[in-house]
Chains A and B, each alone.
Chain A
């Protein structure tokens, strides 16, 4: 079983839509959680960390559910510039190994 699993998509949504991605992880001892964004043929860039209490950064909201071992990312009022692949990342118990999901592709259409 993979450490981190994501729906590969693509999610095709119109501008202004709200879209949500989920990601499940297998190791209950995982300590830290992140969402990264990767544009085509570029390196991944940190979008946001995911805290136990949930956190928001502008149009982006991340949630963690430890009991069910999943994290989510909600994007409100989608922009064309949000089109990218979103990677779910989970660390091991000692923070030093990061496990990446395969990514969920988002296409925002005019």
Chain B
């Protein structure tokens, strides 16, 4: 079955460490996205990529980095520059073309700084 897989489900980071969250999709979707959700808050866009080898900053890109070397994969690195990284991170993908194509989300990664 096609889908989008995020790993790990839970991640603990020490202060000053970089960590990388994995996101893989086999839906043949063109675009991929990373969102952050804080308790009781909406989703905020970190980065997105519409094609391989290209990505754009979202609304809260500071302290994060991404790469898009393959269509299927869009890993997110949370760097030590991100001062408040504890959150629920969601990866999503979609087709670029046409209207009324919604996102498909992965099941998320919960990151906690210890």
Q: Nearest-CB distance from A22 to chain B (Å)?
A: 16
Does B101 lie within 8 Å of A95, measured CB to CB?
Answer: yes
Q: Complex Cα distance A98/B32, Å?
A: 11
A51 touches B100 (CB 8 A): yes
Would you list which residues of chain A between 67 and 110 have a CB under 8 Å from chain B?
87, 89, 91, 95-98, 100-103
How many B residues, CB 8 Å from partner?
27
Interface residues as binary, B28-50 with A (CB distance below 8 Å gives 1, 0 otherwise): 00010101000011110100101
Number of A-B contacts defined by CB within 8 Å = 56
Number of A interface residues, CB 8 Å?
24
User: Chain B: residues with CB nearer than 8 A to chain A?
Assistant: 31, 33, 35, 40-43, 45, 48, 50, 88, 90, 92, 94, 96-108
Chain A residues with CB under 8 Å of chain B are: 4, 31-32, 34, 36, 41-46, 49, 51, 87, 89, 91, 95-98, 100-103
